[in-house]
């Protein structure tokens, strides 16, 4: 054996892999046929359930099979006691968690989990909240996770009779501090703030608005190319959801923000979001004052047409409106 060099294996390895995969494809197709035939035959036995388990492990995107799985479970539940149903659902939830870890963005898995909890005699919302927290730790921008979180929070509130608004508001802060490029977190904040103000009347809404603007300005300066922060900024300065401002107050706020964005534009002359915001905010100021829009807006729109040619016509249209 000495001095005999191992031959290069890459080509052989590739061929071997291809062969193994071909076998897998044949097996998969056979499994699909079997499952679909069982469904046609209204087979609602544990054996059929096991078949869907095997298939969904391989391909969780096959929603027909998830439907079939629910048909089977519903049929099984009809003859069972609450305890047995619960333990069956617990198994189901465990199976689903393993699937979620592998496929965190698959609609059908999240869907099926919701269905399980709705069918559960005694759902543990605490566990679900911990689970979705874990999922959002793994990917803070997974909107499936945020969507599911709102559902879980709603159910928890209903079950306990206690509001979770403060808890959830603080949660979005944590998530934003960890990565502010997160449409879902900012969006959740816009939904939570009005409720927070209703539930905690001692909060000074104007002060809160000021704090939020401070926060978003830090984000805008850190990354002006991030669309999510501009969207939240737009909501803060234009919406009445936080505090109903008089038109003079609104105008002052807009002018203050315009000034801050103009300072940013000086160091980032090619920032599309900067320019767009200036156009929109100046337009609003003009409307509030009942005046014509400042001529500088045309300069911004020219610049936008130049740096964002894909939306050239859109900016042209804006021009005609002013």
Partner 1 sequence: MATTTTSAAGSTETCDVLIYGTGLVESIVAAALAWQGTNVLHIDSNPYYGGSWAALNLDELKAWTDRVNEAASNNTPFSDAYLYISRNLDPRKYAIDLSPHILFTRSDLLNLLIKSRVSRYLEFKPLGSFHTFEQDSFEKVPGTKEDIFTSQTLTLLTKRSLMRFMKFVLDWEQNTTVWQEYKDEPISKFLEERFALDAPQIVELVHSIGLLPTPKAPTELALGAIKRYLTSMQVYGNFPAMYSMYGTGGELAQGFCRSAAVAGAVYRLGTKLIGFDETTSDAELDSGEKIKVTEKIISSEGVVAGDEEITRMVAVVEKDCKEWFAEGESAAVVVFPVDTLDGNRFAVQVLVMGSGSGQCPSGQAIWYLSTQESGEQGRKYLYVALEKLEETILRESTENFEFDVNEEEISYLPNGLPVISSVRLGESLRNFTPKESLKYLLKLTYSQKVTVRPIEPTADSKVICTIAPSIDLAFEGIVDQAKGLYELVTGTTDDFFEVDFEDEDDDATATAAAADTDIRDIAEDKEDDVMGHHSDFEEVAGEMTI
Binding stretches for partner 1 (CB under 8 A): 2-6, 8-10, 13, 20, 94, 97-98, 101-102, 126-127, 129-131, 133-134, 137, 167, 170-171, 173-174, 177-181, 211-212, 214-215, 217-219, 221-224, 264, 267-268
Distance CA 177, CA 243 (A): 24
Radius of gyration in angstroms for the set of CA atoms belonging to the chain, rounded to a whole number: 28
User: Degrees (nearest 5) of the Cα angle 172, 249, 300?
Assistant: 80
- Which residue's CB is nearer to partner 1, number 48 or number 209? 209
Distance CA 71, CA 74 (A): 5
- Beta carbon of residue 284, minimum distance to partner 1 (angstroms, whole number): 23
- Which residue's CB is nearer to partner 1, number 74 or number 91? 91
Tokens of 253: 């706020």
Contacting residues for 37 by C-beta, under 8 A, at least 6 apart:
none
- Which residue's CB is nearer to partner 1, number 209 or number 297? 209
79: buried, middle or exposed (CB in 10 Å: 19+, 13-18, 0-12)? exposed
- Beta carbon of residue 314, minimum distance to partner 1 (angstroms, whole number): 27
- Which residue's CB is nearer to partner 1, number 38 or number 142? 142
Strand, helix or coil for residue 219: helix
Number of other CB atoms surrounding residue 268 within 10 Å: 16
- Which residue's CB is nearer to partner 1, number 243 or number 286? 243
- Beta carbon of residue 189, minimum distance to partner 1 (angstroms, whole number): 12
Distance CA 175, CA 182 (A): 8
Strand, helix or coil for residue 44: coil
For residues 154 and 199, the answer to whether their CB atoms sit within 8 Å is no
- Beta carbon of residue 101, minimum distance to partner 1 (angstroms, whole number): 4
- Beta carbon of residue 220, minimum distance to partner 1 (angstroms, whole number): 9
Q: C-alpha distances in angstroms, 160 versus 116, 120, 154, 256, 257?
A: 20, 17, 10, 43, 42
For residues 115 and 93, the answer to whether their CB atoms sit within 8 Å is no
- Beta carbon of residue 82, minimum distance to partner 1 (angstroms, whole number): 21
- Beta carbon of residue 191, minimum distance to partner 1 (angstroms, whole number): 19
- Which residue's CB is nearer to partner 1, number 199 or number 316? 199
- Which residue's CB is nearer to partner 1, number 62 or number 169? 169
């Amino acid at each position: 054996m000495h001095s005999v060099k191992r031959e290069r294996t890459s080509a052989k390895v590739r061929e071997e892999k291809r062969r193994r995969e071909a076998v897998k494809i044949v097996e998969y197709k056979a499994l699909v046929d079997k499952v679909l035939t069982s469904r046609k035959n209204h087979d609602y036995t544990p054996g059929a359930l096991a078949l869907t388990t095997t298939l969904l492990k391989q391909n969780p995107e096959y929603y027909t099979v998830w439907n079939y799985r629910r048909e089977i479970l519903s049929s099984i539940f009809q003859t069972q006691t609450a305890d047995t149903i619960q333990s069956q659902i617990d198994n189901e939830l465990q199976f689903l968690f393993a699937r979620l870890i592998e496929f965190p963005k698959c609609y059908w898995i999240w869907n099926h989990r919701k269905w399980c909890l709705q069918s559960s005699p005694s759902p543990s919302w605490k566990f679900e909240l911990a689970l979705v927290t874990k999922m959002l730790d793994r990917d803070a921008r997974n909107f499936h996770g945020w969507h599911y979180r709102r559902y879980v929070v709603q159910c928890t509130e209903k079950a306990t009779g206690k509001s979770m608004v403060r808890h959830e508001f603080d949660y979005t802060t944590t998530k934003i501090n960890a990565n502010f490029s997160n449409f879902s977190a900012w969006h959740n904040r816009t939904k939570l703030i009005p409720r927070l103000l209703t539930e905690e009347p001692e909060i000074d809404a104007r002060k809160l608005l000021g704090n939020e603007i401070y926060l978003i300005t830090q984000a805008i300066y850190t990354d002006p190319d991030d669309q999510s922060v501009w969207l939240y900024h737009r909501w803060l300065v234009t919406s009445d959801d936080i505090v109903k401002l008089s038109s003079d107050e609104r105008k002052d706020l807009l002018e203050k923000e315009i000034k801050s964005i103009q300072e940013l534009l000086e160091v980032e002359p090619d920032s599309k979001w900067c320019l767009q915001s200036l156009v929109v905010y100046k337009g609003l100021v003009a409307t509030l004052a009942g005046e014509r829009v400042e001529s500088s807006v045309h300069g911004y729109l020219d610049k936008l047409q130049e740096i964002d040619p894909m939306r050239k016509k859109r900016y042209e249209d804006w021009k005609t409106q002013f």
